[in-house]
Structure 1
Amino acid sequence: MNSISLKPELKELYTLNEFILNELPEENIPVNLILEEIFVNIVEYSKADYIKVNAEFEPPILTIEFIDNGIEFNPLLKDDPEAPTTIDDAQIGGLGIFLTKEMADELEYQYVNNENHLKIIKKVE
């Protein structure tokens, strides 16, 4: 398993993308979206001092684990947003966790030793 430590800064998303996406056989938009949504949420809301990412690609399974020391937050317990009835009712934001739940094949969350651990398993073909 490969690991990388990142600062909780948006500019580190480029480093994360290189770390994960370069291991995949071709561009994978769902994986790219998952990485962006989870990383940006940690940076914006967790108040973490660090983010560690572990990744392993054993074709066709990609396993990514985000670890941070921010505020305890289990994204799996977040309610899915309600679909707007009209375009005027639609709001920007709030869909990242929902999209991650939809695109990932498995999600696991644990809070251990004052750290959030979010494991994402995605079949990559």
Structure 2
Amino acid sequence: MNTITLKPEISELYTLTEFITNEMGEENFQVNLIVEETFVNIVNYSKTESVTVNAECKDNVLTMEFIDSGIEFNPLLKEKPAVPNNIDEAEVGGLGILLTKEMADELDYHYENGENHLKIIKNV
């Protein structure tokens, strides 16, 4: 697996997306969305000092692990938000986790040694 460690700043998203794309060898819209939603949530809510991402693409299966030392948070336990009937009823927040859960092929979370570990597997 290859590893990148980033500052918890939105400006690092491009670097992360480029890192993941290089692992896959090509762009993938769903992967980009998963990466963006996961990273932005960590940046906005975790209060971590850095974000480490391990990634490997083997036999068209992308494995990513996001690691941060911020506030303990298991996104897999987040309840499914109510889906609005129209854009006027939409509320900010919660849909990114839902999208990630629906687009990923496998998700795993654990908290160990003061760190959140979110493993995402996506068939590409």
TM-score (norm 2): 0.95
The letter for the 1-side match of 2:120 is I
| Separation in structure 2 between the aligned mates of residue 11 and residue 61 of structure 1, nearest angstrom | 27
Q: 1:4: Cα distance to partner?
A: 0.7
Relative to structure 1, the CA distance from residue 86 to residue 31 in structure 2 (aligned partners, 3 Å threshold; closer, same or farther) is: closer
Matched, 1:97 2:110: no
| Separation in structure 2 between the aligned mates of residue 88 and residue 4 of structure 1, nearest angstrom | 39
Q: 1:85: Cα distance to partner?
A: 3.3
The letter for the 2-side match of 1:84 is P
| Separation in structure 1 between the aligned mates of residue 86 and residue 56 of structure 2, nearest angstrom | 41
Secondary structure class of the residue paired with 1:81: coil
Q: 1:89: Cα distance to partner?
A: 1.6
Alignment of 1:1-125 (within 5 A): 1-124=1-124
TM-score (norm 1): 0.94
Q: 1:86: Cα distance to partner?
A: 4.0
Gaps of 5+ in 2: none
Gaps of 5+ in 1: none
On the 8 A contact 2:23/2:55 being kept in 1, the answer is: no
Instruction: Give aligned pairs, total.
Output: 124
Q: Percent identity, please.
A: 68
The letter for the 1-side match of 2:112 is V
Give deviations 1:24-68, integer Å, cap 9, x for gaps.
Answer: 243200000000000000000000011100001102110000000
| Separation in structure 2 between the aligned mates of residue 17 and residue 89 of structure 1, nearest angstrom | 31
| Separation in structure 2 between the aligned mates of residue 12 and residue 99 of structure 1, nearest angstrom | 21
Deviation beyond 6 Å, 4+ runs, structure 1: none
The letter for the 2-side match of 1:8 is P
